[in-house]
């Protein structure tokens, strides 16, 4: 019988600590064991004087990390196993904070899908390098979760009109391809895939500044083309105003955003807006604590199990939300999820 490969491979190469997320069949989605092993590797490399920087990668060529293993979280929630749900999110968010406070350069080489938890293990680091094959998104409203892993801190602080870009990405789950992620502020550098092996080899000498020398210029792309529309439509902090502006815009782009918003969990949309509103005035540790508390309520809401079922289990993409319409969501019920 073949030996089972470890889900995380961490080793010292040259002056670098390298970490490979190694569940390619699952698109390197994070389960509890992976989070634990990532945390162990991060702690070891932080203390190792032979390590000058950390390189984080995903195996398989299709994904950096497609997110957290929310199907397992759904199963635990449906079984009433609150302890498993709590442990998963607590350990994941602790890892996100560790990366944000890391004493050495934390360099993520993002080549393929990077969503949810994958953004959590990269966006808080010093360098987020994307190739033209990278695809970054926070698609949580489609499964009735919310943008977590510390993005309640990150998204409100993206460049441009305060909060607008983050609200667009969070509410619609918009997908950013390659250099678009640099335009939006989620990634820091664009390096073509063909240059990635040379960059990795250069990083093994322990000097993070080589990223600059390998990076390519970012020409204006889809995000810049849509920036004016995004910053106008998503400037308001309430959902009814955002949708009214999109309706008034009447463009193909605006209609596409409205179509997306009407497919998402109404409760999740309102929870997400409130989360970003609060996160804009809080530091990262406070945001992570807020997110952890919020997971307790949100994973018990019927929309979470239904959203994961529709998107990831049965894959019929026909969720039956409760309540089904934005106008039916009780604002008091949303605030109650935050403990108000």
- In terms of Cβ atoms closer than 10 Å to its own Cβ (0-12, 13-18, 19+), residue 86 is middle
Give 63-101 pLDDT, tens digit per residue.
999 999 999 999 999 999 999 999 999 999 999 999 999
pLDDT at 176: 97
Whole-number average pLDDT of the chain: 96
> Token pair for residue 43?
């702690």
CA atoms within a 13 Å half-sphere pointing along the CA-CB vector of 39: 17
Closest CA to 237 of 265, 263, 275, 199: 275
In a domain, 119, yes or no: yes
In a domain, 293, yes or no: yes
Across 96-225, the runs of DSSP E, i.e. the strands, are: 106-110, 113-115, 127-130, 135-137, 176-177, 189-190
Give 118-166 pLDDT, tens digit per residue.
999 999 999 999 999 999 999 999 999 999 999 999 999 999 999 999 9
Closest CA to 111 of 191, 203, 8, 22: 191
Give 204-243 pLDDT, tens digit per residue.
999 999 999 999 999 888 899 999 999 999 999 999 999 9
CATH of the domain at 49: 3.90.226.10
Q: In what side-by-side order are the strands of the sheet with 106-110?
A: 8-13, 16-21, 53-58, 106-110, 127-130, 189-190
pLDDT at 4: 76
In a domain, 2, yes or no: no
Assess whether pLDDT exceeds 60 at residue 2: no
Name the residue range of residue 223's domain.
8-337
Task: Over range 291-309, report the average pLDDT.
Answer: 97
Domains contained in the chain, number: 1
Task: Enumerate the active-site residues.
Answer: 68, 117, 140, 148
User: Could you give the CA distance from residue 276 to residue 300 in angstroms, rounded to a whole number?
Assistant: 21
Binning pLDDT at 50, 70 and 90, where does residue 1 land? Answer: very low
pLDDT at 329: 97
In a domain, 77, yes or no: yes
Assess whether pLDDT exceeds 80 at residue 3: no
Binning pLDDT at 50, 70 and 90, where does residue 62 land? Answer: very high
Can you give the pTM of this predicted structure?
A: 0.96
Task: Over range 270-277, report the average pLDDT.
Answer: 98
Percent of the chain with pLDDT over 90: 97
Task: Over range 160-177, report the average pLDDT.
Answer: 97
Assess whether pLDDT exceeds 60 at residue 290: yes
> Token pair for residue 78?
């449906």
Assess whether pLDDT exceeds 80 at residue 340: no
In a domain, 1, yes or no: no
Q: In what side-by-side order are the strands of the sheet with 63-65?
A: 63-65, 113-115, 135-137, 176-177
């Amino acid at each position: 019988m073949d030996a089972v490969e470890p889900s995380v491979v961490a080793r010292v190469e040259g002056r670098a600590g390298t970490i490979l997320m190694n569940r390619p069949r699952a698109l390197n989605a994070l389960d509890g064991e992976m989070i634990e092993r990532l945390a162990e590797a991060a702690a070891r490399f932080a203390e190792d004087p032979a390590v000058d920087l950390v390189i984080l990668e995903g195996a398989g060529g299709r994904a950096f990390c497609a997110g957290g293993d929310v199907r397992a979280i759904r199963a635990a929630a449906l079984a009433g196993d609150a302890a498993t749900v709590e442990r998963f999110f607590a350990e994941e968010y602790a890892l996100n904070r560790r990366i944000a406070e890391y004493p050495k350069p934390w360099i993520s080489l993002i080549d393929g899908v990077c969503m949810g938890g994958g953004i959590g293990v990269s966006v808080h680091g010093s360098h987020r390098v994307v190739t033209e094959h990278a695809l970054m998104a926070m698609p949580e409203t489609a499964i009735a979760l919310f943008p977590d892993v510390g993005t309640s801190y990150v998204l409100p602080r993206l460049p441009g009109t305060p909060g607008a870009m983050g609200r667009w990405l969070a509410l619609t789950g918009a997908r950013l391809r390659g250099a678009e992620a640099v335009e939006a502020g989620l990634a820091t550098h664009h390096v073509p895939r063909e240059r990635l092996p040379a960059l990795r080899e250069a990083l093994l000498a322990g000097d993070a500044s080589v990223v600059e020398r390998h990076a390519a210029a970012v020409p204006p792309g889809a995000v810049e083309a849509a920036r004016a529309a995004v910053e106008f439509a998503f400037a308001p902090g309430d959902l009814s105003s955002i949708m009214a502006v999109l309706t008034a815009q009447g463009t193909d782009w605006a209609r596409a955003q409205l179509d997306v918003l009407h497919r998402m969990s109404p409760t999740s949309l309102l929870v997400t807006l409130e989360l970003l509103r609060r996160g804009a005035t809080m530091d990262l540790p406070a945001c992570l604590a807020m997110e952890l508390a919020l997971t307790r309520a949100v994973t018990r809401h019927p929309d979470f199990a239904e959203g994961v079922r529709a998107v990831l289990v049965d894959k019929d993409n026909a969720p039956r939300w409760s309540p089904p319409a934005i106008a039916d969501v009780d604002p008091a019920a949303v605030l109650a999820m935050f403990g108000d």
